Each structure stands twice: as structure tokens, then as C-alpha cells.
A and B are shown apart, each in its own frame.
Chain A
């Protein structure tokens, strides 16, 4: 057996020389793709190792034409050039109110972060060159003011994807207001002027926002040569760190020393385990009343202790809550309290809310 293995190894070394001569161009590929990589031909029903049906196929004419209303309903993207900008307006002051009600719970007061969710404000563009190499602990700050290249992204994203647990619930007026607030807190100028509480942001003046880091990205993707620029950029390995060398003997790696993992992270779920044994006990997978809604709409804040909301599972916190009696707790949930919007931002009925509270309490006894 041993002998056999040695043979295999020596054959491996011998073939190395041969195969490395004809290294490139597997499957008649050409290095001509837009990503700087290979394009493989599709010819006579063969694509690399795959066969495909090459009967003359076209004009299936499946589906139907979208109606004007359908297009209007779904074509809600907003481009930096203003195409798709919806009608609407809002003041910085209104945005401040809305942000405190609906956003600060995750993003912190003034969007300053600290709660584990993205930090939206603060920092300095100069920090973008920070590198946390040994002895240097300052991280680059990637916020709206220091990093985001386009204001349209902000307006579009807030409307489509925020607030986190109930996206697409903000009107366009409110979305303009929150956007205005975030731009103002990032000290971004509108039409060459600082934004104050009374500044109105609207579809009329939106294109006059100047984002500080608008020129912070490469390659240039704008204009008729945008795609060509990307292709040229990605095709040059020096731009993207694709500079490996296939050295086989006495290879040098300047100053490289061994760094072995120290205090490796163990905060993983489920815990690390490789045993082939039977699970301890079958998990209770039945869904309790209120559980699904809790997980969908409440767990974001009540699932941890970082947000200031009573954490589900915390006996003490929930004993304190429930001392007030279920009716009072329900009334608070309906009205909202502190950072919690009315009904936690949901549209659940009173009965459903009660069920959710009872579920949360049941998990905290």
C-alpha cells in the first residue's frame, strides 16, 4: 500500500510540469467577460461540459404586457439623475420627529449608532484611509455623510426597506422628511446651504443635494463607457489584489510570520459540535399563539437587551412589566411608549396584541 502511494505522489510531481504549460483556456474559453474572467462558447449544443437543447428557440411569447397601473405600482426606483423621483416634501424638523419615533430605536439618537445597527451619522471623510493595522485602532467611518455617494439611494431605500420591521409603511412626504433630517445631521448641504429645522426637501430641490463622498468610488460607472470602465478595471489584477504568483520552490513572502488564532470566538449558534450521537431531546417545534407575530414584529427590539425594551426571557424585567396587569400593559402596547411606536409599528388587533404579550410573558417566567 505504501509503495503505491509513493508512486502516486511522484507521478503528481511529474505531471505538474506538463499541465502548467497548457494551463489556460479550459473549454475554449476566452478572457473577455465583463468581470475580467472567462467567457465560454455555446456552440452546437455544447457549453463547456454541459449539453443543451440548441433547436432554434425564440419567440415563446409567454406572459403578458404589464398594465400602466402595474408599472406605476412597481416601478418605484429612484435614480441619481432624478428619474423616478416621486412627488413629496418634508422638513428637517418633521424628519427629526419621525426619526425619533421610528428609527432611533435601532440607529440611536441622531443616527449615531451604538445599538448594534448601522451608524448613520458622524465621522469624518478623512477616516476612510484609516487601516486597523497593529497599534492602530481607529476604524474608517462609513456613514451617510462620509461614504454614501448618492442621496437618491437614501430616499429610495428608506421608502422601500425601512422601518426594518414594517417596511414600505412610510408616505413619500415622511420619507422626504426623514431623508432631510439625515442629510442635515450629516451636515450635508442643499443648494450650497446648510440645512436647518425649517429646510424643506422635496422633489423640486432634491437634485441640489451635494453628497461629500460622491467621487469616492472607482471605477467610473457613469456615462456610455460605464460598463467598459468596469471591465477594464476588473481585468487588471493590480486593481483588485489579483496578484498571486504560482511559485513552487523557495518562495518568498516578505516578512510573513505565523499568527495562530488566539482566544477564538465561541459565540456561535448552535454551539460547535462534531459528535455523531442522538440529539439530547427533541425540540418543541409547535408554534404558540402570538409567537409568529412576536417574531415578525416585536423580536427586533424585545429579543435582546440592547434596545431598552424588556427582553423576552428576562424574568425580572417581565415580572416588573406584568405587575401592572395585562390591561395596562396592553394599553401601553396600543399607545406606544418611549421608543416603541403604537402597536410596535404593526396593525395587529387588540386581541392579537394581547396574545403576543401573553406569549412574551410565557417565555419570560
Chain B
């Protein structure tokens, strides 16, 4: 803090000074005096307290001197218009010919707080546009190798005892644009194909116990009610573990983009498997070989073979602050700043997150904070004294199944660069000496 000029330290002179300065600025404005001229004229008092005054404190603002708008103007609330840039985004790269019916929108992770994604910002992937389903006409049929096949209405589904759980959903293509080289300079596009929400619905096992699944049934077909009849084959073992039929997210009905009125939820697994607009579950003793588990959502290896039925999203993490969208350009050497990020694992619960400042040579452990839940986003934090130097900032998560995020080279050695799906290697932010943050990779 700079010292205040001695001549203006007593209150009377302050007042005087204020009046005369105001007059001066008025005149200056009228005669269009340049700012340079003004400051040179004022040079003896340029360090006065008033100059540092924040006029948004010293002057009344319009919102404090007028009546606000009626409280229920928006019966369904909307964010402040000042937040209009906090939106999902798309790119033609992640579409066919720029068509946005079978494409993906990404969540603005750079602007999210905590571990819950607001419903309007949940990433969206569809294969035949967003279906608009009349909930009164929607049915869920469960049949095949079961004792008592059933048809359920939405009313029926909601009668079962409900449970609420917080889980992330992630598209297995998250980060797929960057297998070969970094392409985006944006957290939103590097890792935004994921979101985390509190889901409410019924445990699938609760329904299946009523239905009586034949012990010989190994597989369950889940089919969506959209134009593409999106379907996947799922092991009965998962259906009987933590699978759910969900109809609500963050306390309200599912958004249409997320499968209104009802979807399957398979915690920790490729989001594609959590079939939206769920209309049918069939049990059988053989897998179905659906389109989205053969021609797509299979991971081609350098051997020419492809992994099929690659379910879990493996342990992963990303630093959300700083990031290309939220750089450190406003920091000065010696400033204290919190490094923050998200870690998650589809195979379990986050146990550790480490931070490296030198591109992965040396690591320190970050703190986990907030709720640490299985198969959910977990926040981590590390408080850092900024030195105004170049950094290669990385985070690396470990989960309770024993998995630690691989380096790009470790992952590449086994998976190659053409597999599209399940990229979970360590991400690097290159921080320039001026605080700019750019997407980077440590690789060979």
C-alpha cells in the first residue's frame, strides 16, 4: 500500500480536496481535457485516498436506488443475465458434417463450483436428436429371461422406494480429440464431456427381484425410446449391483437432453451405457452386439484388435483453476493462490490427488475437499505461492481400486493413439511467465 500524502491526512483538508477535485473533473470533462493532462495537473495529490476509492462503494448504484423486479417474474428461475457466457458449447469437429442431432455439447467446467453440475449445463450426447417424450405415454417393458415380465408406467416407476445418489457421467470420448496432440486451448473442450449430479430413482435390483431374473441370464439389453433406439448390452451383475432407473436429477425431473422421463444409470461406466429415454430391458443368455458396442464404443488397439465391453471410466483428474479460460494473468509474484480441480474414478473412490509443477518429475499431495464419494467428482485443492515463473502444472489421481492415472507415454504404449475412447492420462497446463495458461502434453 502506498502512503497517503501528508497534506491530505486531516479530515478537513480531505473534504476540501474532494470538493475541488470533483469540480476539476467536471471541468475536465466539459473541456475534454486529456487524462494525461489531468494527472500531470494533479501530480502533487495523485496518491490521495480518494483516487483509490472504488466508486462502486462510494457512489450509490442503480440496483440500490430502485425497485427490483417482481420476485416471481421467472416462475422457473434463470441465472443472472451476467452469467450468459456460462453455457454448454459445441464444435463441428464433434459431429457429422456440423449436424447437431448426433453430436455432443460440453460442460463449462471452468465455471463450475463444487461437485454438482446444474441441470442446464449437463453435457449432452445424442444419436438422433433430443427426443421429446410425453411422460403419460411412456412405458418401460422388462421381459426376456424373467419369471414375471412387466410393463411399467412412469407412475408405477415412481411408486418404488426411491434412492438418491451423486454420480458423474462421462462420455468415453472425453478428451478423444487429443490422443495425438493437443487441439483445444480450453478446459471446456479438453475435459467437458462429463457432469456430476444427484440422481433419484429406484435401484434396478429392487424391480428385478420382483420380476425374477432367470439365474441363467447373463446379459441385459437396454433400449432407448429415441429415434435411434439407442441400445446396449449390460452384464446382469451390474444390474444387480449399483444400477438404477432414474427419473430425477438435482431434485427435479430429468432434462430432456438427459433422457426425460426416465433413463438407466450405471454408475462409473461409459455414459453411453446409461441409456436415455429408457423403454425396454430384455434379459438373455447371450450378448446382443448392438451398433454402439461394435462399430462404435470399441477401442481399437495398435495390434488391430479392439476392446469391446470396456465399461468403467478409469481414474482421472483435471486442474480447473487455473485453466486456459481462467489464467493467472492477474497474479503478481508472491501472491497466494488456490489450485483447484476435479478427480473422479468409475472404478471406485478417489484416495489421493498429487500435483506436479515441473511436468511430472516431482509431485506433492493435494488436499481432497468436500464430499468424497464413490464414482463421483471429488474436489482437490492445493494452496500455492505464485512465483511468476513458467510452470508445467499437472494433477494425478489415485483411486481405492489401486489405479493411478498413467502418463501419456504409459497409456500410449498399450492403447496407441487410434482407440478414440477411454483416454485418462495426465493432463498438463503450460503456465507462461505472464500467467497465461495453455493446453499442453508431456509426451514423445
Of A19, A34, A75, A240, which one neighbours B238 at CB under 8 angstroms?
A34
Q: Is A320 an interface residue (CB 8 A)?
A: no
Interface residues in A51-69 by Cβ distance below 8 A to B read 52-53, 57-66
Q: What residues on B are CB-neighbors of A75 within 8 Å?
A: 143, 280, 282
A148 touches B295 (CB 8 A): yes
- A29 in contact with B400 given A53-B161, A60-B160 (CB within 8 Å): yes
Give the docked Cα–Cα distance between A8 and B366 (Å).
11
Q: Is A287 an interface residue (CB 8 A)?
A: no
- A48 in contact with B83 given A36-B347, A64-B150, A250-B361 (CB within 8 Å): no
Q: What residues on B are CB-neighbors of A192 within 8 Å?
A: none
Give the docked Cα–Cα distance between A295 and B349 (Å).
43
Query: What string of 1s and 0s marks CB contacts (under 8 Å) between B338-352 and chain A?
Result: 000000011111011
- A37 in contact with B364 given A26-B349, A118-B96, A167-B229 (CB within 8 Å): no
Q: Which of B10-18, B19-27, B406-414 contacts A (4 or more CB under 8 A)?
A: B406-414
- A261 in contact with B295 given A23-B398, A222-B287 (CB within 8 Å): no
Q: Which residue of A lies closest to B291 (CB)?
A: A157
A27 touches B349 (CB 8 A): yes
Candidate in B268, B414, B430 with the most chain A CB atoms within 10 angstroms:
B414
B97 touches A115 (CB 8 A): yes
Q: Which residue of B lies closest to A144 (CB)?
A: B295
Cβ distance A290 to chain B, nearest Cβ, rounded Å: 18
- A217 in contact with B82 given A37-B347, A39-B241 (CB within 8 Å): no
Q: Is A322 an interface residue (CB 8 A)?
A: no
Cβ distance B386 to chain A, nearest Cβ, rounded Å: 12
Q: Is B214 an interface residue (CB 8 A)?
A: no
Q: Which residue of A lies closest to B308 (CB)?
A: A217
- A230 in contact with B309 given A15-B365, A37-B348 (CB within 8 Å): yes
Q: Is B402 an interface residue (CB 8 A)?
A: yes
Give the docked Cα–Cα distance between A304 and B98 (Å).
8
Q: Is A142 an interface residue (CB 8 A)?
A: yes
Q: Is B184 an interface residue (CB 8 A)?
A: yes
Give the docked Cα–Cα distance between A130 and B186 (Å).
29
B352 touches A23 (CB 8 A): yes
Q: What residues on B are CB-neighbors of A248 within 8 Å?
A: 354, 362-364
Q: What residues on B are CB-neighbors of A224 within 8 Å?
A: 218, 285
Q: What residues on A are CB-neighbors of B315 within 8 Å?
A: 242, 244
A260 touches B89 (CB 8 A): no
Query: What string of 1s and 0s marks CB contacts (under 8 Å) between B209-241 and chain A?
Result: 110000000110101000111010001111001
Q: What residues on B are CB-neighbors of A262 within 8 Å?
A: 181
B417 touches A131 (CB 8 A): yes
Give the docked Cα–Cα distance between A60 and B352 (Å).
42
Q: What residues on A are CB-neighbors of B392 within 8 Å?
A: 258
A274 touches B287 (CB 8 A): no
Give the docked Cα–Cα distance between A252 and B410 (Å).
11
Q: Which of B56-64, B114-122, B151-159, B257-265 contacts A (4 or more CB under 8 A)?
A: B151-159
Query: What string of 1s and 0s marks CB contacts (under 8 Å) between A12-40 and chain B?
Result: 11011001100111110101011111111
Of B93, B148, B401, which one neighbours A37 at CB under 8 angstroms?
B401
Give the docked Cα–Cα distance between A282 and B444 (Å).
48
Q: What residues on A are CB-neighbors of B156 within 8 Å?
A: 62-63
A259 touches B294 (CB 8 A): no
A256 touches B442 (CB 8 A): yes
Give the docked Cα–Cα distance between A65 and B148 (Å).
7
B227 touches A161 (CB 8 A): yes
B286 touches A241 (CB 8 A): no
Of A58, A234, A251, which one neighbours B312 at CB under 8 angstroms?
A234
Q: What residues on A are CB-neighbors of B309 within 8 Å?
A: 219, 221, 230
Of A116, A253, A255, which one neighbours B96 at CB under 8 angstroms?
A116
A267 touches B91 (CB 8 A): yes
Q: Is B374 an interface residue (CB 8 A)?
A: yes
Interface residues in B348-393 by Cβ distance below 8 A to A read 348-349, 351-352, 354, 359-367, 371-374, 382-383, 385, 392
A128 touches B182 (CB 8 A): no
Q: Is A77 an interface residue (CB 8 A)?
A: yes
A132 touches B210 (CB 8 A): no
Interchain residue pairs with CB less than 8 A apart (7): A15-B365, A16-B352, A27-B374, A37-B268, A71-B141, A244-B315, A264-B184
Q: Spell out A's residues near B (CB within 8 Å).
A: 1-2, 5, 8-9, 12-13, 15-16, 19-20, 23-27, 29, 31, 33-40, 48-50, 52-53, 57-66, 70-71, 74-75, 77, 79-81, 83, 106, 115-118, 125-126, 128-133, 139-140, 142, 144, 147-150, 152-153, 156-157, 160-161, 164, 167-168, 216-219, 221-222, 224, 226-227, 230-231, 233-234, 237-251, 253-262, 264-265, 267-270, 272-279, 296, 299-300, 303-304, 306-307
15 new A-B contacts, CB < 8 A, other than A241-B414, A265-B91, are A23-B352, A60-B210, A62-B159, A65-B148, A70-B151, A125-B304, A142-B295, A148-B295, A167-B128, A221-B308, A227-B237, A248-B363, A250-B361, A253-B410, A276-B83
